[in-house]
């Protein structure tokens, strides 16, 4: 398929083509990556009335379940919803188990929803890189809401911030008087904090946790949106609080659209991505260069044999690339 | 047929791992070291030796006379196609020496769907008998007096309509409720752990279990109201300590739920029965059955029963289906005999022996006969029934029993500390432990550490599948079922049906109402199984349960064996720009997902990106998922015979969606004679039981490389 074919299919809302286009932007193959850049260029600019929502939190906190519940509500209202989810990749075998189709059985089959799990992979630029490009594709295909589910482990929360409009952080009810987990970073990355699984025996503890978060975030200045994160509780099982969570998302969207923060934020993100995209393109070109390829093997061997340090070897490779 | 020996080069069989004298103790899968010699010293610290059969803690058996009074009950699990055909099969078996009946229902029935539900058409009558209403149940027991014949029914999810049909069928046969003998499995917790034929979420499901127990306690004093089943954990890969601990923990959970509902311990505890799987670890299995009785008595004692029967664990056993091989099916007779003997030495109350062809299909009539006779040989010819608890006092068996009790007790403590089994299931503890054990077991077989004769050691050429495999005439069964369903719906009083179903729904909202009472009323009015289940589903919702998979267990057990697959997988990734991606899918209503989950874990360990599809998917849904996720391969796991219809449909849907390039491979129990037809319909490869997972992965990668890139040299 040519870049034009891809873009035509995407704009027609052809899931088949969208699925393959996401594969394309995730590909590590240099030819694919060049084609991917063309497709992305043709998809630009994205439709304006879209919202990108990051859902983050520790493994097992219930991110998929919450997205499933919120997404189903949106789909029932006639909205089109995309979900991009990253699952961890084993460093040892490089394989992954991608379970989101199972974790989102309803949304996975809804005609107006598109769920795509991706291996977090050992890809250049990390998860957020491919996810950012996939968001562009989903929006071009007419999906108004795109959820990005990330495995919350510090780094990826920050990365999710850079590709979305609103960050929803899920936490679990905590025992104990003071929350050790409250750190400045959370306030800076999260726009909405939700105590998940607030049902059954955990219901009252969840309320306590909610109050503790509310108290703690007042100690910090508000984030770049100018708003302090709201703290809520919800249960995907009893459905309690789901409507409130979504209302909070809508209220936040309304506020940042009115204040102009949404647009400003996207502009800042786009500016950052110029450098990222250029670095990627350069990296591809570098690694594909025949002279570099040959020299790379040589350098690695020399380093292995102790003939050269890794820094000197790198210098040599860059020199080879420049001169070629 | 004999092989031609002149064409076989002479070489001696390679030494098996067990061929040498070993000094270091051998470690069992339970993590129990086995020494080469046991002596009196090994009995020193054992606390369980001083007991007699028939007296608490029942180590040697629940009855004082055991088999000297009467041998165990030969109870063969069977059922297929329509009620008429299963009825004929039962009558034939009873005439040939079988003592108890055990009904296998088809998957739509298990999952609460009528035979005409669009999601289940491919599964009707396949892995059991289709039962849609009282009329089917009456036909099932036509000419079999339920007052005299004990009947066991494997039913968990749709336990309410099935029990109600059974009760009404007996009523209309003229049998009073209090005379009914038999067992209903009614063990929902293990469904959430391993077997997956649940319908409702855990909370309402536990209430249904409890209501059945309470109903039986009040009206059916000779009926076992729950059969707490370790068998399915055993088959899912649980070693003896886990099977034991989790089964007893489930039993304990039912006891607590019934006490909370206001029952007295002696009203129901004597009617709790157990069900264990028996594999090839002969002594371990004997120890397991003895340990089970002792531990159960210990667990129930604190509830202070006044009837000693409350402390006695009675059990049914079944030989292991997992231990059977598709290669050289006759070998399975020998395996089953060895397993049956372990169950008998462990003093089971009833026994099912698997048929030799069950790794390939449902049992054929001759295979079913050999299976039944296996028990008759043991009971009547082999003189193993003359003495009670024959292994009592054996240094080795007693020491092993003691060790196993210790290990199981500590696993039980883990569940108790998690807050009981319901809480532990919610946290995913049992499923995680069992699946890790299953992946390790597969890795031991694949790396030839565990011997499977004729499969990974002592392979012999010329394995031919038996020619007379049992097949179900699916179209005919389906049309007969639909006709009967329509007749039932046309001849009943529609207003009454609506009223009873409304009553059932209202009862679901009142925690004190007994749902089985209401289901019986609905059954009398000829409400169907689907309607009764649907009414409750409106109140309770349908459960979509899954627990995330953990990778790494397979690789941990056999780090060396996957080198080729890993290298191929890296090679493919370099050419393709991403890793080979496979969707592991379950089609139809079959919830047995050990195979699918072991494959998913192992393939991820071999460098695949693995999508795990939801259970109970239709071909159309699987095709949609495959296309959305843009996978290279769909791997379908099939154990219940629906593949012949559903897998070609999947291929067709992929074609319709414009992705004929996505390969479809099939694994599980697929009869040889279906292979050609399936391959012609576009299935890329079929992997039967005994496939080495690493080899399967390598083959899939070679297929992909041929398909997408230049062929690779082997």
Nearest to B579 among A33, A108, A119 (CB): A119
Report how far residue B283's alpha carbon sits from residue B346's, in angstroms, rounded to the nearest whole number: 9
B314 phi and psi, to 5 degrees?
-110, 145
- Min Cα separation A124/chain B (Å): 12
Q: Is A122 on the interface with B (CB under 8 A)?
A: no
Q: Is B658 on the interface with A (CB under 8 A)?
A: yes
Select from B230, B211, B222 the least CA-distant residue to B288. B230
User: Any bridge partners for residue B151, and if so which?
Assistant: B101, B182
B139 phi and psi, to 5 degrees?
-65, -35
Nearest to B548 among A19, A20, A99 (CB): A99
Cβ within 8 Å, pair A95-B607: yes
Cβ within 8 Å, pair B578-A23: yes
Report how far residue A252's alpha carbon sits from residue A101's, in angstroms, rounded to the nearest whole number: 29
Mutate to test the interface with A, among B578, B605, B619 (most CBs of A within 10 A): B578
> How many Å separate Cα B271 from the centre of its chain?
22
B67 noted as active-site residue = no
DSSP for B256-272? Answer: HHHHHTT--HHHHGGGE
pLDDT at A201 over 80: no
Report how far residue A275's alpha carbon sits from residue B554's, in angstroms, rounded to the nearest whole number: 42
B283 noted as active-site residue = no
Nearest to A16 among B583, B621, B657 (CB): B657
Unique residue bearing structure tokens 């009454």: B496
**Catalytic residue (choose from B35, B48, B77, B708):** B77
Q: Which residues of B touch A106 (CB under 8 A)?
A: 544
CA-to-CA dists, residue B496 to B76, B135, B500, B527, angstroms? 38, 17, 6, 9
> How high is the pLDDT of residue B112?
96
Report how far residue B104's alpha carbon sits from residue B86's, in angstroms, rounded to the nearest whole number: 9
The tens digit of pLDDT for each residue in A65-89 reads 899 999 999 999 999 999 998 776 6
Cβ within 8 Å, pair A29-B577: yes
- Min Cα separation B547/chain A (Å): 9
Q: Is B544 on the interface with A (CB under 8 A)?
A: yes
DSSP class of A124: T
Nearest to A98 among B573, B610, B614 (CB): B610
Q: Is A109 on the interface with B (CB under 8 A)?
A: yes
pLDDT at A180 over 60: no
B446 phi and psi, to 5 degrees?
-65, -35
End-to-end CA distance of chain A: 32
Q: Is A174 on the interface with B (CB under 8 A)?
A: no
The tens digit of pLDDT for each residue in B340-356 reads 999 999 999 999 999 99
B77 noted as active-site residue = yes
Token code pair at residue A126: 């990390």
Q: Which residues of A touch B603 (CB under 8 A)?
A: 95
User: Any bridge partners for residue B686, and if so which?
Assistant: B666
Select from A97, A69, A24 the least CA-distant residue to A239. A69
Q: Decide if A108 contacts B625 (C-beta within 8 A).
A: yes
In this structure, the strands spanning A230-233 and A145-151 are unpaired
pLDDT at A209 over 80: yes
Q: Is A162 on the interface with B (CB under 8 A)?
A: no
Q: Decide if B579 contacts B236 (C-beta within 8 A).
A: no
> How high is the pLDDT of residue B228?
98
Token code pair at residue B630: 């843009």
**Catalytic residue (choose from B63, B200, B215, B231):** B231
Token code pair at residue B338: 């060895």
pLDDT at A102 over 50: yes
> How high is the pLDDT of residue B113?
96
ipTM of the prediction: 0.86
Q: Decide if B241 contacts B408 (C-beta within 8 A).
A: yes
> How many Å separate Cα B97 from the centre of its chain?
25
Give the angle B629-B634-B637 at the CA atoms, nearest 5°: 130
- Provide the 3-class DSSP secondary structure of residue B352: strand
- Using DSSP, how many helices (H) and how many strands (E) does chain B show? 26, 16
Cβ within 8 Å, pair A27-B551: no
> How high is the pLDDT of residue B223?
97
Report how far residue A14's alpha carbon sits from residue B642's, in angstroms, rounded to the nearest whole number: 31
B282 noted as active-site residue = no
Q: Decide if B222 contacts B273 (C-beta within 8 A).
A: no
The residues, ordered by sequence, that sit 6+ positions from B173 with a Cβ below 8 Å of its Cβ are B138, B141, B145, B146, B147
DSSP class of A201: G
The residues, ordered by sequence, that sit 6+ positions from B521 with a Cβ below 8 Å of its Cβ are B500, B503, B504
Residues B347, B352, B358, B361, Cα dihedral to 10°: -160
- Min Cα separation A263/chain B (Å): 30
The tens digit of pLDDT for each residue in A260-278 reads 999 999 999 989 888 888 8
Cβ within 8 Å, pair B603-A95: yes
> How high is the pLDDT of residue A219?
77
CA-to-CA dists, residue A291 to A32, A284, A302, angstroms? 21, 14, 17
> How high is the pLDDT of residue A59?
76
> What part of A 8-67 touches B (C-beta under 8 Å)?
15-16, 19-20, 22-23, 26-29, 32-33, 60
Q: Is A98 on the interface with B (CB under 8 A)?
A: yes
CA-to-CA dists, residue A57 to A61, A195, B17, B427, angstroms? 6, 10, 47, 17
Signed CA dihedral, A199, A200, A201, A204: sign only: positive
Q: Which residues of A touch B546 (CB under 8 A)?
A: 99, 102-103
> How high is the pLDDT of residue B547?
54
B541: left (phi over 0), alpha (psi -120 to 50) or beta: left
Cβ within 8 Å, pair A93-B621: no
The residues, ordered by sequence, that sit 6+ positions from B407 with a Cβ below 8 Å of its Cβ are B30, B31, B32, B241, B245
**Catalytic residue (choose from B592, B632, B643, B653):** B592
Q: Decide if A296 contacts A302 (C-beta within 8 A).
A: no
Q: Which residues of A touch B573 (CB under 8 A)?
A: 28, 94
Total count of residues recorded for chain B: 714
| Alpha helices (H) along B357-493 | 365-376, 395-417, 421-426, 429-446, 474-491
Q: Decide if A116 contacts A71 (C-beta within 8 A).
A: no
Cβ within 8 Å, pair A93-B614: no
- Provide the 3-class DSSP secondary structure of residue B224: strand
Q: Which residues of A touch B607 (CB under 8 A)?
A: 93-95
Cβ within 8 Å, pair B628-A15: yes
Mutate to test the interface with A, among B630, B708, B709 (most CBs of A within 10 A): B630
> How high is the pLDDT of residue A155?
59
> How high is the pLDDT of residue A90?
64
DSSP class of B646: H
Q: Categorize the per-residue pLDDT at A121 as very low, low, confident or very high, splitting at 50, 70 and 90.
A: low
Q: How buried is A45 (Cβ within 10 angstroms: 0-12 exposed, 13-18 middle, 19+ buried)?
A: exposed
B590 noted as active-site residue = yes
Q: Decide if B257 contacts B313 (C-beta within 8 A).
A: no
> How high is the pLDDT of residue A222?
79
Q: Categorize the per-residue pLDDT at A125 as very low, low, confident or very high, splitting at 50, 70 and 90.
A: very low
b/e burial code for range A1-27 (CB count within 10 A of at least 16 → b): eebeebbebbeeebbebbbbbbbbbbb
**Low-confidence residues in chain B, pLDDT < 70:** 1-3, 5-6, 8-23, 463, 465, 545-552, 558-561, 640-641, 710-714
Unique residue bearing structure tokens 């020494």: B35
> How high is the pLDDT of residue A220?
77
Q: How buried is A290 (Cβ within 10 angstroms: 0-12 exposed, 13-18 middle, 19+ buried)?
A: exposed
Nearest to A96 among B562, B604, B658 (CB): B604
End-to-end CA distance of chain B: 33
Select from A263, A251, A250, A253 the least CA-distant residue to A77. A250
The residues, ordered by sequence, that sit 6+ positions from B271 with a Cβ below 8 Å of its Cβ are B213, B216, B217, B221, B223, B224, B225, B226
Q: Decide if B66 contacts B368 (C-beta within 8 A).
A: no
> What part of B 608-647 touches A (C-beta under 8 Å)?
608-614, 621, 624-625, 627-630
DSSP class of A79: -
> How high is the pLDDT of residue A176?
46
Q: Which residues of B touch A89 (CB under 8 A)?
A: 609
pTM of the model: 0.80
A226: left (phi over 0), alpha (psi -120 to 50) or beta: left
Q: According to the per-residue pLDDT averaged within each range, which of A158-162, A223-227, A304-308, B399-403 is highest?
A: B399-403
Q: Is B486 on the interface with A (CB under 8 A)?
A: no
- Min Cα separation B580/chain A (Å): 9
Q: Is A201 on the interface with B (CB under 8 A)?
A: no
- Rounded to 10°, the helix B240-260/B395-417 angle is 50
The residues, ordered by sequence, that sit 6+ positions from A204 with a Cβ below 8 Å of its Cβ are none
Cβ within 8 Å, pair B627-A19: yes
**Catalytic residue (choose from B450, B590, B605, B674):** B590
Please report which helix (H) or strand (E) contains residue B620, including its range.
Answer: helix B619-628
Q: Decide if B234 contacts B281 (C-beta within 8 A).
A: no
CA-to-CA dists, residue B60 to B43, B129, B338, B401, angstroms? 16, 37, 20, 11
> How high is the pLDDT of residue B338?
98
Cβ within 8 Å, pair B614-A95: no
- Min Cα separation A261/chain B (Å): 33
Cβ within 8 Å, pair B604-A97: yes
Q: Which residues of A touch B577 (CB under 8 A)?
A: 27-29, 32-33
Q: Is B603 on the interface with A (CB under 8 A)?
A: yes
Token code pair at residue B123: 């599964």
């Amino acid at each position: 398929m040519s870049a034009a074919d891809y873009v035509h299919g995407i704009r027609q809302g052809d899931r088949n083509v969208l699925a393959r286009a996401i594969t394309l932007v995730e590909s590590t193959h240099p030819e694919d990556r060049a084609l991917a850049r063309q497709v992305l260029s043709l998809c630009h600019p994205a439709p304006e009335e879209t919202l990108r929502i990051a859902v983050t939190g520790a493994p097992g906190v219930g991110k998929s379940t919450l997205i499933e519940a919120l997404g189903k509500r949106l789909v029932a209202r006639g909205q089109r919803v995309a979900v991009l989810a990253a699952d961890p990749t084993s460093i040892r075998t490089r394989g992954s188990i991608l379970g989101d189709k199972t974790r989102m059985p309803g949304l996975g089959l809804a005609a107006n929803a598109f769920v795509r799990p991706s291996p977090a992979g050992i890809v250049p630029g990390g998860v957020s890189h491919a996810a950012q490009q996939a968001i562009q594709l989903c929006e071009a295909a007419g999906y108004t809401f795109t959820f990005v589910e990330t495995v919350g482990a510090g780094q990826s929360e920050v990365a999710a911030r850079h590709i979305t409009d609103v960050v929803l952080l899920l936490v679990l009810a905590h025992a104990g008087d003071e929350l050790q987990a409250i750190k400045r970073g959370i306030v800076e990355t999260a726009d909405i904090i939700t105590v998940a699984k607030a049902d059954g025996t955990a219901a009252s503890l969840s309320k306590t946790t909610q109050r503790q978060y509310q108290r703690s975030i007042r100690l910090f200045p508000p984030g770049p949106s100018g708003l302090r994160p709201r703290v809520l509780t919800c249960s995907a099982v009893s459905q309690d609080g789901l409507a409130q969570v979504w209302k909070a998302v809508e209220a936040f969207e309304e506020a940042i659209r009115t204040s102009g923060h949404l647009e400003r934020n996207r502009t800042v993100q786009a500016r950052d991505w110029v450098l990222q995209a250029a670095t990627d393109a350069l990296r591809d070109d570098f690694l594909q260069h025949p002279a570099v390829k040959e020299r790379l093997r040589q350098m690695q061997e020399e380093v292995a044999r102790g003939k050269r340090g890794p820094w000197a070897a790198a210098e040599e490779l860059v020199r080879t690339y420049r001169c070629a | 047929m004999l092989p031609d020996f002149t064409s076989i080069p002479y070489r001696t069989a390679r030494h098996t791992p067990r061929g040498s004298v070993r000094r270091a103790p051998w470690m069992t899968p339970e993590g129990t070291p086995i020494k080469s010699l046991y002596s009196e010293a090994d009995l020193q610290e054992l606390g369980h030796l001083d007991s007699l059969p028939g007296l608490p803690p029942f180590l040697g058996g629940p009855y004082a006379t055991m088999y000297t009074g009467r041998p165990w009950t030969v109870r063969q699990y069977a059922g297929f196609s329509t009620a008429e055909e299963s009825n004929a099969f039962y009558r034939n078996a009873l005439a040939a020496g079988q003592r108890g009946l055990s009904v296998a229902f088809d998957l739509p029935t298990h999952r609460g769907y009528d035979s005409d539900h669009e999601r289940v058409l491919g599964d009707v009558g396949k892995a059991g008998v289709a039962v849609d209403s009282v009329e089917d149940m009456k036909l099932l027991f036509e000419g079999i007096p339920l007052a005299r014949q004990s009947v066991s029914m494997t039913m968990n999810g749709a336990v309410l309509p099935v029990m109600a049909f059974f009760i009404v069928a007996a009523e209309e046969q003229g049998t009073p409720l209090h005379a009914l003998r038999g067992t209903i499995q009614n063990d929902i917790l293990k469904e959430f752990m391993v077997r997956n034929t649940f319908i409702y979420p855990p909370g309402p499901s536990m209430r249904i279990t409890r209501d059945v127990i309470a109903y039986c306690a009040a009206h059916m004093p000779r009926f076992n109201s729950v059969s707490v089943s370790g068998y399915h954990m055993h088959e899912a890969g649980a070693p003896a300590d886990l099977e034991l601990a989790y089964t007893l923990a489930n039993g304990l959970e039912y006891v607590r739920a019934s006490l909370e509902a206001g029952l007295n311990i002696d009203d129901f505890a004597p009617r709790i029965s157990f069900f264990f799987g028996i594999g090839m670890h002969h002594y371990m299995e004997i120890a397991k059955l003895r340990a089970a009785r002792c531990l159960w008595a210990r667990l129930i004692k604190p509830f202070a029963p006044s009837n000693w029967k409350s402390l006695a664990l009675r059990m049914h056993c079944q030989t292991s289906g997992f231990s059977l091989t598709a290669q050289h099916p006759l070998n399975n007779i020998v395996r089953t005999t060895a397993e049956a003997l372990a169950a008998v030495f462990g003093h089971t109350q009833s026994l099912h022996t698997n048929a030799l062809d069950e790794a390939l299909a449902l049992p054929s009539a001759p295979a079913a006969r050999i299976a039944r006779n296996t028990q008759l040989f043991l009971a009547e010819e082999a003189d193993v029934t003359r003495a009670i608890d024959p292994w009592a006092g054996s240094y080795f068996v007693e020491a092993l029993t003691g060790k196993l009790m210790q290990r199981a007790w500590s696993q039980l403590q883990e569940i108790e500390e998690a807050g009981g089994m319901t809480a532990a299931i919610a946290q995913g503890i049992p499923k995680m432990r069992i699946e890790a054990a299953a992946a390790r077991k597969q890795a031991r077989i694949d790396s030839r550490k565990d011997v499977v004769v004729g499969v990974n050691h002592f392979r012999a050429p010329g394995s031919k599948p038996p020619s007379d495999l049992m097949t179900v005439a699916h179209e005919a069964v389906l049309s007969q079922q639909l006709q009967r369903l329509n007749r039932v719906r046309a001849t009943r009083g529609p207003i009454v049906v609506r009223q009873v179903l409304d009553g059932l729904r209202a009862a679901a909202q009142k925690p004190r109402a007994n749902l089985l009472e209401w289901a019986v009323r609905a059954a009398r009015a000829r409400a169907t199984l689907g309607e009764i289940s649907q009414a409750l589903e409106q109140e309770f919702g349908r459960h979509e349960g899954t627990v995330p998979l953990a990778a790494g267990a397979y690789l941990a057990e056999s780090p060396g064996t996957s080198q080729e697959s890993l290298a191929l997988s890296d090679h493919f990734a370099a050419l393709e720009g991403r890793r080979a991606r496979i969707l592991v899918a379950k089609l139809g209503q079959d919830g047995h997902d050990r195979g699918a989950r072991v494959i998913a874990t192992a393939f991820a360990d071999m460098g695949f990106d693995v999508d795990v599809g939801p259970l109970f998917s239709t071909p159309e849904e699987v095709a949609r998922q495959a296309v959305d996720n843009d996978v290279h391969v769909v791997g379908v796991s099939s154990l219940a015979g629906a593949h012949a219809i559903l897998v070609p449909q999947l291929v067709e849907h992929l074609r319709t969606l414009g992705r004929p390039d996505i390969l479809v491979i099939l694994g599980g129990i697929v009869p040889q004679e279906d292979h050609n037809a399936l391959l012609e319909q576009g299935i890329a490869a079929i992997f039967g039981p005994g496939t080495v997972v690493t080899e399967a992965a390598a083959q899939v990668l070679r297929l992909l490389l041929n398909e997408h890139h230049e062929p690779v040299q082997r």
